[in-house]
């Protein structure tokens, strides 16, 4: 690429990379989009044990980026290292050279991935963006599944965790969003009650060993199954500000829902880089969601999601008594039980949030199976927001 050079991250590039992120992700985007909080671009990578960052410079200016965060999971029955690519961003004025630029980025990423012991590359993107470059990704050796969509719900935009809303949106938007509270109240009233022997509660530190065992042995027919050790998962929970909700029947664990906090902007909140005034609001996003197969089609998963939407402050275990905290989930919609649970509590599936997961095996003995659900924990798609008690 004449005049372009691919480099690794350095601190002096951070502010420019944040601007690249905002400029790229909000370009011609009229709906909500996830944001970075804290603002430091490298923060999300520092949450992982191992990562790769690649930046394209044009005369010293960052014009495109691609990062990879490493995780362990089971793929094709083998325990492997998966590199989840994120921050596939490009400045709008270089979109005409998208395929040339990203070919160089993925070539460099693959070289480093093999050095890092990564066996599979995968990542999420919008369906409409993939359709523009289908032949390009096929040539790179990627396959994909669509239907990995966003499912939003909730109505409380003001008193959100970890920070209350400080940006004042127009009154008519405040009024319209406020009406959703009564919609969700109506939905909750119609939701069948749980049996007396089933309990939904917040996760405690003492639950972590049983939670890890439950996630590692989850019963969904998924292609990318998480694999954790107890010590590793304790560190992940703390670094990523992850909290959880458990379902039990007579003290037997039957469901686990862990979640990160995500930051959002756009639409009536304005867009960074493009608007003079803009604000950030926060929501919960499920990270791991597993339920024993015999309970998946029951009302249990819906009550777990409802418990999340009724959580005001997970650190202090405070419920949202008068409203419903914002929640947005992302997963392969072929997980019928999970989709059904969200619809039962009033969540939607907007068309503008349709997405895909792309993946490529870097080993001949790993053949990706598209008949299984392709799912990623949310922290490998969006950047988790830290607790107010965590430093950047």
pLDDT digits (tens, 9 = 90+) for 173-193: 989 988 999 999 999 999 999
59, two tokens: 């005369």
Average pLDDT estimate for 116-140:
96
Q: What's phi and psi for 326, nearest 5 deg? A: -65, 140
Q: Which residue spans within the chain are E strands per DSSP?
A: 4-7, 32-35, 51-58, 61-75, 78-90, 120-126, 143-146, 148-153, 198-202, 225-226, 243-249, 252-266, 281-291, 311-313, 318-319, 327-332, 355-361
Domain finish residue from 88, 114, 149: 149
209 & 228 share domain: yes
The residue with greater pLDDT, 77 or 296, is: 296
Q: Structural domain tally of the chain?
A: 2
Which residue from 77, 70, 54 is spatially nearest to 120, judged by alpha carbons? 70
- pLDDT tier, 159 (very low <50, low <70, confident <90, very high otherwise): confident
205 & 104 share domain: no
119 & 59 share domain: yes
Average pLDDT estimate for 53-60:
96
115, two tokens: 């050095």
Q: What is the pLDDT of residue 352?
A: 82
What whole-number distance in Å separates Cα of residue 390 and Cα of residue 37?
12
Q: What is the pLDDT of residue 89?
A: 97
Kindly report the CATH number assigned to the domain that includes residue 307: 3.40.630.30
138, two tokens: 């096929």
- pLDDT tier, 69 (very low <50, low <70, confident <90, very high otherwise): very high
Q: What is the pLDDT of residue 392?
A: 61
Evaluate whether 269 touches 278 at the Cβ level (below 8 Å): yes
Domain finish residue from 105, 133, 149: 149
- pLDDT tier, 391 (very low <50, low <70, confident <90, very high otherwise): low
211 & 90 share domain: no
Q: Average pLDDT, whole number, for the chain?
A: 95
What single DSSP character describes residue 378?
G
139 & 178 share domain: no
309 & 161 share domain: yes
Domain for residue 290, yes or no? yes
104 & 248 share domain: no
- Cis ω on the peptide bond leading into residue 334 (within 30° of 0)? no
Give tens-digit pLDDT for 194-245. 999 999 999 999 999 999 999 999 877 899 999 999 999 999 999 999 999 9
Query: Whole-model pTM?
Result: 0.96
Give the C-alpha distances (Å, rounded to integers) separating 336 from 30, 91, 183, 243, 340.
Answer: 29, 37, 23, 24, 6
251 & 142 share domain: no
State the residue range of the domain holding 90. Answer: 4-149
185 & 313 share domain: yes
Give the C-alpha distances (Å, rounded to integers) separating 62 from 23, 106, 129.
Answer: 12, 16, 21
Domain for residue 373, yes or no? no
334, two tokens: 């072929």
134 & 159 share domain: no
Average pLDDT estimate for 328-353:
95
- pLDDT tier, 390 (very low <50, low <70, confident <90, very high otherwise): confident
Give tens-digit pLDDT for 301-319. 999 999 999 999 999 999 9
């Amino acid at each position: 690429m004449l005049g372009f050079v691919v480099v690794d991250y350095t601190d002096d590039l951070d502010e420019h990379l944040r601007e690249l992120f905002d400029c790229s992700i909000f370009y011609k985007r009229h709906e909500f989009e996830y944001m970075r909080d804290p603002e430091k671009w490298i923060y999300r990578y520092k949450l992982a044990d191992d990562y790769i960052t690649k930046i394209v410079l044009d005369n010293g200016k960052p014009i495109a980026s691609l990062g990879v965060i490493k995780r362990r999971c089971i793929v094709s029955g083998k325990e492997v290292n998966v590199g989840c690519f994120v921050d596939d961003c490009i400045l709008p004025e270089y979109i005409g050279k998208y395929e040339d630029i990203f070919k160089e980025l993925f070539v460099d990423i693959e070289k480093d991935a093999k050095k890092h012991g990564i066996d599979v590359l995968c990542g999420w993107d919008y369906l409409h963006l993939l359709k523009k470059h289908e032949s390009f990704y096929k040539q790179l050796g990627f396959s994909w599944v669509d239907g990995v969509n966003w499912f939003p719900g909730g109505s409380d935009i003001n008193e959100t965790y970890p920070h209350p809303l400080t940006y004042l949106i127009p009154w008519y938007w405040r009024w319209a969003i406020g009406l959703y509270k009564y919609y969700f109240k109506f939905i909750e009233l119609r939701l069948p009650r749980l049996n007396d022997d089933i309990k939904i509660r917040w996760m405690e530190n003492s639950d972590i060993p049983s939670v890890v065992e439950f996630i590692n042995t989850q019963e969904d027919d998924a292609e990318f199954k998480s694999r954790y050790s107890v010590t590793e998962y304790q560190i992940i929970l703390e670094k990523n500000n992850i909290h959880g909700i458990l379902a039990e029947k007579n003290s037997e664990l039957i469901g686990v829902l862990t979640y990160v906090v995500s930051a959002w902007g756009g639409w009536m909140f304005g867009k960074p880089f493009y608007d003079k005034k803009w604000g950030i609001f926060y929501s919960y996003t499920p990270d791991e969601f597993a339920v024993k197969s015999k309970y998946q089609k029951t009302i249990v998963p819906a009550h777990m999601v409802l418990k999340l939407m009724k959580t005001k402050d997970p650190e202090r275990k405070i419920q949202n008594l008068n409203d419903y905290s914002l929640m947005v989930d992302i997963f392969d919609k072929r997980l019928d039980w999970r989709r059904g649970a969200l619809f039962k509590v009033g969540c939607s599936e907007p068309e503008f949030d349709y997405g895909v997961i792309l993946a490529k095996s870097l080993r001949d003995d790993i053949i990706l199976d598209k008949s299984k659900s392709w799912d990623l924990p949310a922290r490998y798609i969006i950047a988790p927001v830290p607790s107010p008690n965590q430093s950047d």
